[in-house]
Chain A
Amino acid sequence: MKTEVVVIGGGATGAGVLRDLALRGIDAVLLEKEELTSGTSGRNHGLLHSGARYAVNDPDSARECLAENKILKKIASPCIEPTGGFFLALPQDPPDYADDLLRACASLDLPAEEVSPAEVLQKEPALSPKINRAIYVPDASIDPFRLIRSNVEEAERLGAQFFPHRRVVAIFTADGTIHGLQAIDAKTGEEFRITCRFIINAAGVWAGRVARMAGAPLDILFSKGSLVVLNRRLVNSVINRCRPPSNGDILVPHGPALIIGTTSQTVTEIEDPSPEEEEVDLLLSEGETILPEVSSTRAIRAYAGVRPLMGAREAGEDSRKISRDFLLLDHGEADQIKGLFSIVGGKLTTYRLMAERTVDVIVKAMGRKTSCTTAEKPLPFPEEYTFHDLGSKLRKIGLPQSFQETGEILCECELVSRGEIVQEIRNQPYPSLKEIQERTRAGMGPCQGGFCSPRLTALLSEGGKIPPGTSLPILKRFLEERWKGTRPVMWGPQLREEQLIQALYTELFNLDHF
């Protein structure tokens, strides 16, 4: 295979780069070792930063976030819920931080407005009445899965190619210039080569490994962040603690759920990050301080992602002090490997900007003069798509009579009908269970797919989308992944439900003997 640019990594950055390249008419291929959003891009709190979180300590990041926040609200509005956000101070928080924040925001032209605690409590009655200061900022929640897929889908429509399950194993250079790479098809084990002039390393936490294949050193600091999902949307706004960045300082409403984040822990292991019990306890107790109902709300899942942070080893143990800015490294200049670029760091909110800067450099190296249009062109989304909420879902489904059109409800937690699932399965060439769940929200509710995943697996099989005889291994792999997320929050009603689900799979289906 031959192309001009190979992008490595199907996260937000890689997807954004692929779209930007495609819009500028550059022939490109995206390779992802697993599936889209399998890495850090699918393991965050889905927050569209206003920039305020970084305003005091990291003004460059804050400025970028603010600009991108406005752009994304314009080009990706169907996957953004403009919730707005608050920075809220409790008596135990540093008293000066609110003023520091207001000052920093003013100097950045970041719209931050102090409101009275009474006003906030009227809007968000579940919050702690002990709040003594409140600052409104334009935070929002964003669905990273939709966003990233939309980037890739548009790129594909413009002629770019995307290959999931392709792991890069070797990068070839001649006379200090990139001329191709070798990858393995994880499903068939087949090796194949791509000839290209440029490689963009957007492999996130794996970027160091990719760079080293070309003989380029690239040191990345890994910072694990854990999050907990509650099954009730206790607030309609993003809630930030008004204090320097710390554990458990952010709550983001997402559809019918609420995500509490985040911890920050320097780690060396990057495969399969999982939250620890102490992290879950910490997040819940911090969450409870600002939102007392957290303690009586059902936690349905915990997960962790690893942030790839750029260098700055001098920051020592505290990875929060490292800039959340990104680094675009031209290995031609740095390591005499022409045609290789690494784009690392940054955050979901700035993915588009990272892509723009990267492709600008590539275009210049090609000697072309096309400019970036990703900030103006709206991303394509299916027409019927609106940010998920159960209320509009209920209105759409209506009374049981209409089941005849949509089919029965297969995911009772999130009210997803058979019709919706069958349609998604039909539309995708090789959908995975995870992909169908992300697209429809089936399996995202309190039972975490415990009851609907066999139904979805059966439909995938009936639709001819998985090879015969693979349904049980697929289901078992899903259940093992599911268990990683549910185990850290296993108490109370969640534990009772899990007993039933365990009995279903081990006793009734006897799955552990197959």
Chain B
Amino acid sequence: MFYDVIVIGAGLAGLMAAEAAQSQGARVLVLARGMGSLPLTTGCIDGLGYFPRTTNIPLSSPLSALPQLKEDHPYHPYAIVGQEKIMLAMAHFQELGQVIGLPYYGTFASTLLIPTPLGTYHPTCLVPETMNQGNLSIPGPVLLLGFRGLKDFFPFLAAENLNILHSQGKIASSFRAEVLEKLDLGGKAMNGLNLARAFDGEDFRNAFIKIVRPLLKSGDSIALSTGYLAGKLAAGFAGKNKFTTENTEITEMGLKPKD
């Protein structure tokens, strides 16, 4: 067995390092103990949400804070690699997403606010394209759809808290919530992974659309509950999860913290 590079750890850093080495012609081995916590993360690539950390107003662009960050924290990774390389790395990540059929939306130059299951928001930079529908700067009504039995998404609570942010002018979208009572996952437990797998089946999607259509009002966006993306990454699914009904694009947002 001969390798040019052995990467220990299959987190985002390890995987990116392995890819970088391999794309330059090295023979690479990745060693990892178990899954790690990557499937438990948001699936988004965060830039810099707040600067300084104590402020509660998110940066509109991480770039705007880079000069000060470099001065205050000269050993911060951003300060060491610099703006140009950050942008290159982000672009490269997006190319990779395209290649594997998981396109990412966004740029390091601007912050996106994505809702969380508690109805707070999470500032980030790159999101899977299907998640961008949850971008809170998009005005208009959103229907938050929960699934009975999926424990870590709280559509009613999220809608309540997001609407408070809406009324304070902090976000553009407004929300209402429903919980779908009876969706058959073929006898499998209701969790993000099984839900993601189910959505890859056409029959399930059609059954889902049939249940959801009467709940929709014109102009609605739908946001599905959490775990969808996490499940997708974990199972190595790609790209099939965006689909359209007559007047509505269905998307995903947020994340399930734990399966």
Q: Do the beta carbons of A469 and B161 come within 8 Å of each other?
A: yes
Query: Inside 8 A of A468's CB, which chain B residues have their CB?
Result: 160, 164
Of the stretches A102-110, A224-232, A455-463, the one at the interface is A455-463
Q: Do the beta carbons of B156 and A508 come within 8 Å of each other?
A: no
Q: Do the beta carbons of B154 and A454 come within 8 Å of each other?
A: yes
8 closest cross-chain pairs (CB), A and B: A458-B154, A458-B157, A504-B257, A510-B122, A514-B120, A461-B157, A513-B56, A509-B116
Q: A498 within 8 Å of B by Cβ?
A: no
Q: B166 within 8 Å of A by Cβ?
A: no
Query: Inside 8 A of A458's CB, which chain B residues have their CB?
Result: 154, 156-157
Q: Do the beta carbons of B118 and A455 come within 8 Å of each other?
A: no
Interface membership of chain B positions 111-155, coded 1 if the CB is closer than 8 angstroms to chain A and 0 otherwise: 000001111111100000000000000000000000001011010
Q: Do the beta carbons of B152 and A462 come within 8 Å of each other?
A: no
Q: B198 within 8 Å of A by Cβ?
A: no
> Residues of B at under 8 Å CB distance from A?
37, 40-42, 49-50, 56, 58, 116-123, 149, 151-152, 154, 156-157, 160-161, 164, 189-190, 255, 257-258
Please give the distance in Å from A502's CB to the nearest CB on chain B.
Answer: 12
Query: Inside 8 A of B118's CB, which chain A residues have their CB?
Result: 454, 471-472, 475, 509, 511
A457-B157 contact, Cβ under 8 Å, with A472-B118, A514-B120: yes
Closest to B146 in A: A458
Q: Do the beta carbons of A451 and B257 come within 8 Å of each other?
A: yes
Please give the distance in Å from A476's CB to the nearest CB on chain B.
Answer: 11
Cα-based distance from A403 to B189 in the complex (angstroms): 10
Cα-based distance from A504 to B259 in the complex (angstroms): 13
Pairs across A and B, CB under 8 Å, 22 listed: A451-B258, A461-B154, A461-B156, A462-B156, A469-B161, A471-B118, A471-B160, A471-B161, A472-B119, A472-B120, A500-B40, A503-B37, A504-B257, A507-B42, A507-B122, A508-B42, A509-B116, A510-B120, A510-B123, A511-B118, A513-B50, A514-B120
Please give the distance in Å from A76's CB to the nearest CB on chain B.
Answer: 34
Cα-based distance from A407 to B189 in the complex (angstroms): 12
Q: A424 within 8 Å of B by Cβ?
A: no
Cα-based distance from A514 to B122 in the complex (angstroms): 11
> Residues of A at under 8 Å CB distance from B?
400, 403, 407-408, 410, 418, 451, 454-455, 457-458, 461-462, 468-469, 471-472, 475, 500, 503-504, 507-511, 513-514
Query: Inside 8 A of A500's CB, which chain B residues have their CB?
Result: 37, 40, 258
Q: Do the beta carbons of A508 and B255 come within 8 Å of each other?
A: yes
Query: Inside 8 A of B257's CB, which chain A residues have their CB?
Result: 451, 504, 508
Cα-based distance from A234 to B37 in the complex (angstroms): 31
Q: Do the beta carbons of B154 and A455 come within 8 Å of each other?
A: yes
Closest to A454 in B: B118
Most-contacted residue by chain B among A472, A507, A510, A511 (CB, 10 A): A510
Specify which of B58, B116, B189, B190 is in contact with A508 (CB 8 Å cutoff). Answer: B116
Cα-based distance from A500 to B40 in the complex (angstroms): 9
Q: Do the beta carbons of B149 and A455 come within 8 Å of each other?
A: no
Please give the distance in Å from A430's CB to the nearest CB on chain B.
Answer: 18
Q: Do the beta carbons of B122 and A508 come within 8 Å of each other?
A: yes
Q: Do the beta carbons of B156 and A408 come within 8 Å of each other?
A: no
Query: Inside 8 A of B120's CB, which chain A residues have their CB?
Result: 472, 509-511, 513-514
Please give the distance in Å from B20's CB to the nearest CB on chain A.
Answer: 25
Cα-based distance from A455 to B41 in the complex (angstroms): 19
Q: Do the beta carbons of A510 and B116 come within 8 Å of each other?
A: yes
Specify which of A410, A475, A509 is in contact with B151 (CB 8 Å cutoff). Answer: A410
Query: Inside 8 A of A451's CB, which chain B residues have their CB?
Result: 257-258
Closest to A447 in B: B258
Closest to B158 in A: A458
Known: A410-B151, A462-B154, A508-B122. 8 other contacts (CB 8 A): A468-B164, A500-B37, A507-B41, A508-B116, A509-B118, A509-B122, A510-B122, A513-B49
Cα-based distance from A514 to B49 in the complex (angstroms): 13
Please give the distance in Å from A496's CB to the nearest CB on chain B.
Answer: 10
Q: Do the beta carbons of A462 and B157 come within 8 Å of each other?
A: yes
Cα-based distance from A504 to B118 in the complex (angstroms): 11
Q: Do the beta carbons of A454 and B160 come within 8 Å of each other?
A: no
A469-B152 contact, Cβ under 8 Å, with A400-B189, A475-B118, A510-B116: no
Query: Inside 8 A of A508's CB, which chain B residues have their CB?
Result: 41-42, 116, 122, 255, 257
Cα-based distance from A462 to B148 in the complex (angstroms): 14
Q: Do the beta carbons of B157 and A471 come within 8 Å of each other?
A: yes
Cα-based distance from A500 to B116 in the complex (angstroms): 17
Specify which of B121, B156, B160, B164 is in contact with A510 (CB 8 Å cutoff). Answer: B121
Cα-based distance from A513 to B120 in the complex (angstroms): 9
Query: Inside 8 A of B119's CB, which chain A residues have their CB?
Result: 471-472
Cα-based distance from A400 to B149 in the complex (angstroms): 12
Q: Do the beta carbons of A461 and B37 come within 8 Å of each other?
A: no
Cα-based distance from A403 to B149 in the complex (angstroms): 9
Q: Do the beta carbons of A455 and B151 come within 8 Å of each other?
A: yes
Query: Inside 8 A of B40's CB, which chain A residues have their CB?
Result: 500, 503
Please give the distance in Å from A152's CB to the nearest CB on chain B.
Answer: 30
Cα-based distance from A23 to B121 in the complex (angstroms): 53
Cα-based distance from A475 to B119 in the complex (angstroms): 13
Cα-based distance from A410 to B151 in the complex (angstroms): 7
Cα-based distance from A390 to B123 in the complex (angstroms): 41
Most-contacted residue by chain B among A407, A461, A508, A513 (CB, 10 A): A508
Q: Do the beta carbons of B258 and A461 come within 8 Å of each other?
A: no
Query: Inside 8 A of A462's CB, which chain B residues have their CB?
Result: 154, 156-157
Closest to A462 in B: B156
Specify which of A403, A461, A504 is in contact with B160 (CB 8 Å cutoff). Answer: A461
Closest to B118 in A: A509
Cα-based distance from A462 to B157 in the complex (angstroms): 7
Please give the distance in Å from A13's CB to the nearest CB on chain B.
Answer: 38
Query: Inside 8 A of B58's CB, which chain A residues have their CB?
Result: 513
A455-B152 contact, Cβ under 8 Å, with A508-B42, A511-B120: yes
Cα-based distance from A6 to B154 in the complex (angstroms): 42
Q: Do the beta carbons of B164 and A469 come within 8 Å of each other?
A: yes
